[in-house]
Amino acid sequence: MTESGKKINLSNNQTPMPCLKPEERVDNFNEVEKGYDKFSAENEALRCLNCVSKPCVTMCPVNIDIPGFINNICSGDLDKSYSILYNYNALPAVCGRVCPQEKQCQMACVRGRNGEPVAIGRLERYVADNHKKLNLKPEPNNGCKVAIVGSGPSGIACAKELATLGYSVTIFEALHSPGGVMLYGIPEFRLPKKILEKEISDLACLGVNIQTDVVIGKTLSIDKLLGELEFKAVYISTGAGTPKFLGIPGETLPGVYSANEFLTRINLMHAYSQEYDTPVLQAKRTVIVGGGNVAIDAARCARRLGSEVTIVYRRTETEMPARKEEIVHAKEEGIKFLFLSNPTKICAENGKITHMQCVKMEYLVNESSQEKKLCAIKNETFDLQAECVIIAIGTSPNAIIKDSCSDIEFDDRGRIKVNDETLRTSKKRVYAGGDIVTGAATVILALKYGKKAAQNIHKDLIASGDVTT
Amino acid sequence: MMVEIIDKIALNKYTSKMVLRAPDIAASAKAGQFVIIRIDEKGERIPLTIAGCDIDRGTIDIIYQKVGFTTYKLDYKNKGQSILNVVGPLGRPSELDGYKNVVIVVGGSGCAIAYPQAKALSENHAKISVICGFRSKDFIILEKELKSISDSFEMVTDDGSSGNKGLVTDVLQNKIKDGTADLVIAVGPLPMMKAVCEITKNFRVKTIVSMNTIMIDGTGMCGGCRLTVGGETKFACLDGPDFDGHKVDFDEAILRSKDSSNSKPFCGKDCNLFKGGLK
């Protein structure tokens, strides 16, 4: 018993989360993890010691009051629990599913010192999926308009904060639906689109207006937003959406996709369903190049389209940046992994891919500096038979804003330069955050930037007299 | 955002023009740019050139030839109905300033791209020669429009059913041999643009081609439109669609364009597939 009278679940292991069995999931796009029921959630919530130091809160990029929301699960008040989550995070159902908890909150959990950490992500998801709908309504309007460019997590977080402060917020989205990478990148079996739609629809309840099919820098310029259209500030959260390629021979052959193209065909355009018009290559064997979440997502999608799938990663398994649970799921689904292997050429006959040439890699240690360096092993090459190759080696910022707005400063990697504290860009009244500033990162980090930008925009608009408090 | 079809005009048996209400696009569109459309919830995203725009009316024109699933499906839409999504103007505008004597070589529905380019050049007071090639007289579009803004106009058809029988490249040779042309614009099927570039390379005349590739988002996100230009990977949606024709790897682009896995299987004529889905 603790001070509050709460029983503690002393088990060193996390309460398991029910999952579809591999054979139940490899031929469809249904969500793999099914989420806790009430009993499991309460059982797991009771593992939280509500410790004094709360290292989980410190490690969370948006500092969610984690023990606070967990305690309300124990007391059965899910609505209270959700309002705590939503206060810090505009997308709890998304983050519960896609955050790399093992590198953030759960890494710091004191229960992890002697067993498994509290399953914070699973609990977050449980609360987000099972609470009653919040009674959200627009705040009294303060008469000030703010434009947000891009409807990914950073834009959504910024919109939510600003709407809560009474701003009239419009999000401009280039695609035909909002959500950014959460929509076109993360597959249905990991983040069902109806979950995402529900979280985005909460923005509409707060009075946020989302305009799809508008490319800022093409359809409307930033100067037009700030001038004729009378927005008092602009937040640029256009992400890092442009795919990188390896630069090896054969990469422009038909049958080679960027992971973005492959995932967009499937997630945004529903190419896996006969009812939709967008097609996708149905290959017998698919090779994925890369080791991040995007590589795993693409591999698992290809598996679901009936392909035999191999992931080729140039480093070792422990270095894979992908979320651990997803690597486990991918293995269960029969996806093969080749580590310390790097592609050198994609080969074709009569315009159709036949195989990919690879070279084995090794770490060489520099004796004086003890630095490890990844090198190709001479003559240790091998061929991988495949009809489809998917390149998932990362993305870089999109260049449309850069090409269209000469008074915003960018660094040599195409990222917008901002003041770290204020998130102001070199252009007056224009702010930026998320992947367009950091390079490709996580949903939660993008959310953090969105919130921070909103607070700074508010502060600056008060200072400039555009808003009176 | 639903976009209304203000008008639909058949240009020939296979090709039609639609006038769409899209004031923001009309206000910022320039020659060489395109839109991406999605007809309905189930539809694919395809790029179509902005063939004209009227800022005062807030409209843009698109011209499509029925060649694949989505263009056939689009043709079932009529005046007064809507297209679910239209986004643009995408791509870089054509760079047409400073040229005095331009030869425009155009094949088939490439006229939809060449016409706004020719119009912009004529507003810049360039001398314009147009060489148009069509499969037969049944495929001719924009003849009157192109004639009206060109200083010389020649037409060839594959079967001689209109103009001379022959290829645009036969005419081009004669047009540029005097060395006065300072720019050639080639718009049409990839083998035609490749052949044009082989000729203009010999005469050392700068040549711009318009690369019409597969695209999904049209904003640099999918990379489906990538091609090799001067040894570098470029995206047609961000860096194009216009490129220096002497640097484009046409053989690679032709190989990519033949990839049938990226088009929905389709019988190639009006079919029952559309009747249930379109209202």
Q: What is the mean pLDDT of chain A?
A: 94
The secondary structure element, H or E, covering residue A395 is: strand A395-396
For A214, name the nearest residue in chain B, comparing CA atoms only. Answer: B87
Mean pLDDT calculated for residue range A304-323: 95
The pLDDT of residue B268: 58
Residue B265 lies in a domain: no
DSSP A133-187: PP---PPPP-S-EEEEE--SHHHHHHHHHHHHTT-EEEEE-SSSSS-THHHHTS-
Interface membership of B87 toward A (CB under 8 Å): yes
Residue A182 lies in a domain: yes
The set of residues, in sequence order, having a beta carbon less than 8 Å from that of B225 and lying 6+ positions away, is B211, B213, B214, B215, B235, B236, B237, B240
Mean pLDDT calculated for residue range B214-223: 94
Task: Give percent of chain A with pLDDT exceeding 70.
Answer: 99
User: Which of A170, A215, A353 is the best mutation test for B, with the most CBs of B within 10 A?
Assistant: A215
pLDDT class of B236 with cuts at 50, 70, 90: very high
The pLDDT of residue B274: 57
pLDDT class of A441 with cuts at 50, 70, 90: confident
CB A174 within 8 A of CB A13: no
Asked if pLDDT for residue B269 goes beyond 80, the answer is no
Instruction: Give the domain extent around A155.
Output: 145-241+397-463
CA distance A296 to A294: 5
Tell me the pLDDT tens digit for each residue of B50-95: 999 999 999 999 999 988 889 999 999 999 999 999 999 999 999 9
Residue B196 lies in a domain: yes
For B33, name the nearest residue in chain A, comparing CA atoms only. Answer: A218
- Do residue A253 and residue A381 come from a single domain? yes
DSSP A233-292: EEEE-----EEP----TTTTSTTEEEHHHHHIIIIIT-TTSTTSS------SEEEEE--S
Burial B72-84 (b: 16+ CB within 10 A, else e): bbbbebeeeebbb
CA distance A91 to A124: 10
Residue B267 lies in a domain: no
CB A346 within 8 A of CB A316: no
For B265, name the nearest residue in chain A, comparing CA atoms only. Answer: A279
Task: Give percent of chain A with pLDDT exceeding 90.
Answer: 88
Asked if pLDDT for residue B239 goes beyond 50, the answer is yes
CA distance A194 to A183: 10
CA distance A399 to A446: 19
**In this structure, what are the phi and psi dihedrals at residue A246, rounded to the nearest 5 degrees?**
-75, -30
CA distance B180 to A232: 52
Tell me the pLDDT tens digit for each residue of A238-257: 999 999 999 999 999 999 99
- Do residue A159 and residue A117 come from a single domain? no
pLDDT class of A1 with cuts at 50, 70, 90: very low
Tell me the pLDDT tens digit for each residue of A73-130: 999 999 999 999 999 999 999 999 999 898 999 999 999 999 999 999 999 999 999 9
Asked if pLDDT for residue A6 goes beyond 70, the answer is no
CB A94 within 8 A of CB A443: yes
DSSP B205-217: --EEEE-----SS
Token couple for B147: 């004639």
Tell me the pLDDT tens digit for each residue of A335-358: 999 999 999 999 999 889 999 999
The pLDDT of residue A7: 82
| Surface of B (23-52) touching A: CB under 8 A | 24-25, 28, 38, 42-45
**Residue B54 belongs to a domain with what CATH number?**
2.40.30.10
**In this structure, what are the phi and psi dihedrals at residue A281, rounded to the nearest 5 degrees?**
-60, 130
The pLDDT of residue A4: 54
Give the Cβ contact number of residue B116 at 10 Å: 22
pLDDT class of B33 with cuts at 50, 70, 90: very high
Angle at B11 between CA B154 and CA B190, to 5 degrees: 60
DSSP A10-75: --SSPPPPPB--HHHHTTS---SB----HHHHHHHHTT----SS-HHHHHSTT---HHHHHHHHHT
Q: A258 to chain B: which residues are within 8 Å by CB?
A: 222-224
CB A280 within 8 A of CB A305: yes
The set of residues, in sequence order, having a beta carbon less than 8 Å from that of A391 and lying 6+ positions away, is A243, A244, A245, A246, A251, A256, A257, A258, A259, A289, A290
The set of residues, in sequence order, having a beta carbon less than 8 Å from that of B42 and lying 6+ positions away, is A270, A275, A276, A277, B277
Domain endpoint, select from A391, A410, A425: A391
DSSP B263: S
Instruction: Give the domain extent around B10.
Output: 3-91+273-277
Name the 3-class secondary structure at B51: strand
Mean pLDDT calculated for residue range B203-226: 94
Name the 3-class secondary structure at B129: strand
Domain endpoint, select from A130, A163, A186: A130
This model of the complex carries an ipTM of: 0.92
Mean pLDDT calculated for residue range B212-230: 94
- Do residue A64 and residue A120 come from a single domain? yes
The pLDDT of residue A324: 86
A219/B24 Cβ within 8 A: yes
- Do residue A100 and residue A115 come from a single domain? yes
Mean pLDDT calculated for residue range A304-332: 94
DSSP A93: H
CA distance B104 to B191: 16
CA distance A327 to B1: 39
Mean pLDDT calculated for residue range B244-273: 80
CA distance B260 to A417: 43
CB A385 within 8 A of CB A285: yes
In terms of C-beta distances under 8 Å and separation of at least 24 residues, what long-range contacts does A28-32 make, across chains too?
A28/A189, A28/A304, A29/A187, A29/A188, A29/A189, A29/A272, A29/A304, A30/A188, A30/A189, A31/A188, A31/A189, A31/A190, A31/A192, A32/A189, A32/A190, A32/A329
**Residue A255 belongs to a domain with what CATH number?**
3.50.50.60
- Upstream peptide bond of B241 is cis (omega within 30 degrees of 0): yes
Residue from the list A211, A214, A264 with its beta carbon closest to the beta carbon of B217: A264
The pLDDT of residue B160: 86
Residue B26 lies in a domain: yes
Residue A102 lies in a domain: yes
CA distance B147 to A359: 58
C-alpha pair distances (Å), A421 with each of A418, A425, B73: 8, 11, 52
Asked if pLDDT for residue A231 goes beyond 90, the answer is yes
Interface membership of B261 toward A (CB under 8 Å): yes
pLDDT class of A366 with cuts at 50, 70, 90: confident
For A394, name the nearest residue in chain B, comparing CA atoms only. Answer: B221
- Upstream peptide bond of B89 is cis (omega within 30 degrees of 0): yes
Residue B7 lies in a domain: yes
| Surface of A (196-255) touching B: CB under 8 A | 211-215, 218-221, 241-243, 245, 247, 251-255
Name the 3-class secondary structure at A296: helix
Residue B264 lies in a domain: no
pLDDT class of B279 with cuts at 50, 70, 90: very low
Give the Cβ contact number of residue A334 at 10 Å: 12
Domain endpoint, select from A362, A391, A420: A391
CA distance A402 to A404: 6
Residue B266 lies in a domain: no
Token couple for B136: 């037969």
- Expressed in percent and rounded to 5, the helix, strand and coil fractions of chain A are 35, 20, 45
Total domains, chain B = 2
B86/A215 Cβ within 8 A: no
- Do residue A261 and residue A365 come from a single domain? yes
Q: B221 to chain A: which residues are within 8 Å by CB?
A: 184, 241-243, 260, 264, 398
Nearest Cα residue to A101 out of A117, A80, A81: A117
Interface membership of A82 toward B (CB under 8 Å): no
Asked if pLDDT for residue A368 goes beyond 90, the answer is no
Total-model pTM: 0.93
Interface membership of A102 toward B (CB under 8 Å): no
- Do residue B106 and residue B85 come from a single domain? no
Asked if pLDDT for residue B202 goes beyond 80, the answer is yes
CB B136 within 8 A of CB B143: no
Residue A254 lies in a domain: yes
Residue B262 lies in a domain: no
The secondary structure element, H or E, covering residue A293 is: helix A293-304
Interface membership of B217 toward A (CB under 8 Å): yes
The pLDDT of residue A132: 86
CA distance A124 to A103: 16
Q: B262 to chain A: which residues are within 8 Å by CB?
A: 254, 279, 281
The pLDDT of residue A323: 86
- Do residue A225 and residue A250 come from a single domain? no
- Do residue B136 and residue B240 come from a single domain? yes
- Do residue A115 and residue A211 come from a single domain? no
* Sign of CA pseudo-dihedral A47, A53, A59, A64: positive
The set of residues, in sequence order, having a beta carbon less than 8 Å from that of A242 and lying 6+ positions away, is A395, A396, A397, A398, A399, B220, B221, B223, B235, B238
Total domains, chain A = 3
